[in-house]
A and B are shown apart, each in its own frame.
Chain A
Amino acid sequence: GENVEQHPSTLSVQEGDSAVIKCTYSDSASNYFPWYKQELGKRPQLIIDIRSNVGEKKDQRIAVTLNKTAKHFSLHITETQPEDSAVYFCAAPAFTSGTYKYIFGTGTRLKVLA
């Protein structure tokens, strides 16, 4: 089955610096890679996703890169702001035996220091 590893578990950056979070996955059939942001006490929300037919996708200050050969993908946040402080989860949904399920990484707690 799918296994997703996420690093680091915690990350502190100064406001304005960049943050990078990395995930690796095991199922070579995975073809969709989302990132979710969870603020304290709130539900996870999708912030960006990428499909296996592209290597990079950007949306303003956030970007995701994918290396299918190495089976890893990364979230990049530039010009970090205090409101970026949250827990970020990657996921690598697996389509197996006719069903589709999401397996999440263990999460990264990002703290942006003002």
Chain B
Amino acid sequence: NAGVTQTPKFRILKIGQSMTLQCTQDMNHNYMYWYRQDPGMGLKLIYYSVGAGITDKGEVPNGYNVSRSTTEDFPLRLELAAPSQTSVYFCASSPYKAGTSEKLFFGSGTQLSVL
């Protein structure tokens, strides 16, 4: 059981380039999230999804896009990368069953630098 898998682990982008951060989970969780964590800072919610075909904005969605075509996959797209997007990106999933199971399972993170 792999849990939540993120790729790549590290990436350096030039300003203006685009890329997709991959996230997949094998736990059949409905809820999936993307967070960014700036150095020494907390976790900010970028986008989240409550199931295949359904996505919604979080606290800091500007400059990002997501899609959820399957239960397993929740890729994060960066268009026109900017230095402000230098951060560690965490994908997470949750089974979310109200009153019984709300635990978040995190991937290992993607460290992104935009130069």
List A residues at the B interface (Cβ < 8 Å). 6, 32, 34, 36, 43-46, 49, 51, 89, 91, 93, 95, 98-107, 109
Contacts and interface: CB of A to CB of B under 8 A. Distances in A.
- Range, interface on chain B: 20 to 34
Contacts of B59: 103
Contacts of A99: 48, 50, 56
B98 interface: yes
A32 B102 contact: yes
Contact of A102 (B33, B50, B107): B33
Contacts, number: 60
8 contacts: A43-B109, A44-B90, A100-B50, A101-B48, A101-B56, A102-B33, A104-B44, A104-B45
A36 B33 CA distance: 16
Point out which of B41, B96, B109 has the most chain A C-beta atoms below 10 A from its C-beta: B96
A43 B106 contact: yes
B115 interface: no
B58 interface: yes
Contacts of A105: 42
B42 A43 contact: no
A21 B90 CA distance: 24
A101 B102 contact: no
Contacts of B53: none
A100 B31 contact: yes
Contact of A107 (B41, B90, B98, B107): B41
B9 to A, nearest CB: 11
A60 B87 CA distance: 34
Nearest to A104: B43
A103 B59 CA distance: 9
B103 interface: yes
B12 interface: no
A46 B99 contact: no
